[in-house]
Amino acid sequence: MHENQFTMRFCARSENEKFARSVVAAFAAQKDPTLDILQDIKTAVSEAVTNAIIHGYRGREEGEVELSACWQGHVLSITVRDFGAGIADVPRAMEPFFTTSPEGEERSGMGFCVMQAFMDDVRVTSAPGQGTSVILKKSVCAPARADGATKIFETY
Amino acid sequence: MIDYTMQAGRLTVLLGGELDHGSAPRIRRAIDTLIAKYSPQVLAVDVGALTFMDSSGLGVLMGRYKNMARRGGRIVVKNATGTVERIFAMSGVYQVMEKE
């Protein structure tokens, strides 16, 4: 059976960061993740979308962010893509505390670190002038119960 | 505006709702306005009521740390739990800020 998926594009505006989080959370909720897993996913998506808005289109008034997600069994695969500036040195950009933002903007440079800490897998593809694509993956299966109890009630 | 209390040189600001790149500038300005108004020795940032925070919140906190440090003051983080606490802990902010 073809797995469920969605793709959407929205303006690279900061007010859409919350919107993007909400969309992915609603999609992830289809497989009944724990609240902690849901929060992890929302946080990582927020980091990726914020990066796209701030760095992908710095100095430009117009730009779009593409957000897509699909299920691979119980693994949620999310892609955040911009069509902007691109990253010249991806490994360096992913180092903790590295930021190209001016000091007045008070960016922590921890966006990629948060993504890596909160998701199971993070892949970044980028090149100068070619935009950036960030793929985030997270299993939404809750860990097995230590007492081996079987779930006997279903929630509808 | 944000909720706050000022007592005995300690300014406590209570953050609620969602703290992200979009809301960070407003929160930053509000806290800096209070710091300028009251010149506290201690800025306590209570994050217990936040329903969401990403690393933008770290930027706000570090900026306020620099502001307080320039004034000879210090900063305390209160009631960080869950995801908020994980972000603070991984960043090392507790090396320069107290935790309550």
- pLDDT tens, residue by residue, A15-24: 999 999 999 9
Report which of residues A97 and A36 the model is more confident about: A36
pLDDT at A37: 97
Q: What angle do CA A48, A57, A99 make, to 5 degrees?
A: 60
Helix (H, G, I), strand (E, B) or coil at A137: strand
pLDDT at A153: 46
In tens, the pLDDT along A71-89 reads 999 999 999 999 999 999 8
Kindly state whether A110 is in contact with chain B, defined as any CB-CB distance less than 8 angstroms. Answer: yes
Tokens at A128, concatenated = 């100068």
In tens, the pLDDT along B4-43 reads 999 999 999 999 999 999 999 999 999 999 999 999 999 9
Helices B24-38 and B56-70, interaxial angle, to 10°? 20
pLDDT tier at A154 (50, 70, 90 boundaries)? Answer: very low
Helix (H, G, I), strand (E, B) or coil at A151: coil
CA pair distance B6, A149, nearest whole angstrom? 51
Q: What residue ranges in chain A does DSSP mark as E strands?
A: 5-11, 64-72, 75-82, 121-126, 132-139
> Contact A114/B90, CB-based, under 8 Å?
yes
pLDDT at A105 over 70: no
How many CB pairs (< 8 A) connect A and B? 68
pTM of the model: 0.90
Q: What angle do CA B27, A87, A79 make, to 5 degrees?
A: 75
Amino acid letter, B47: V
Task: List the 63-82 stretch of B: residues with Cβ below 8 A of A.
Answer: 63, 82
Helix (H, G, I), strand (E, B) or coil at A145: coil
CA distances from B76 to A129, B27, B93, B98 (A): 42, 17, 10, 5
Q: What residue ranges in A12-154 does DSSP mark as E strands?
A: 64-72, 75-82, 121-126, 132-139
How does the average pLDDT of chain A come out, rounded?
88
A136: nearest Cα among A121, A147, A154: A121
Report which of residues B63 and A96 the model is more confident about: B63
pLDDT tier at A98 (50, 70, 90 boundaries)? Answer: confident
In tens, the pLDDT along A134-144 reads 999 999 986 55
B55: nearest Cα among B24, B98, B17, B96: B24
Amino acid letter, A27: F
pLDDT at B12: 98
Residue A46 with chain B: CB contacts under 8 Å: 20, 52, 54
pLDDT at A104: 65
A102: nearest Cα among B63, B71, B69, B57: B63
Task: Say whether the ipTM exceeds 0.90.
Answer: yes
> Contact A106/B59, CB-based, under 8 Å?
yes
CA pair distance A63, A61, nearest whole angstrom? 7
pLDDT at A152: 44
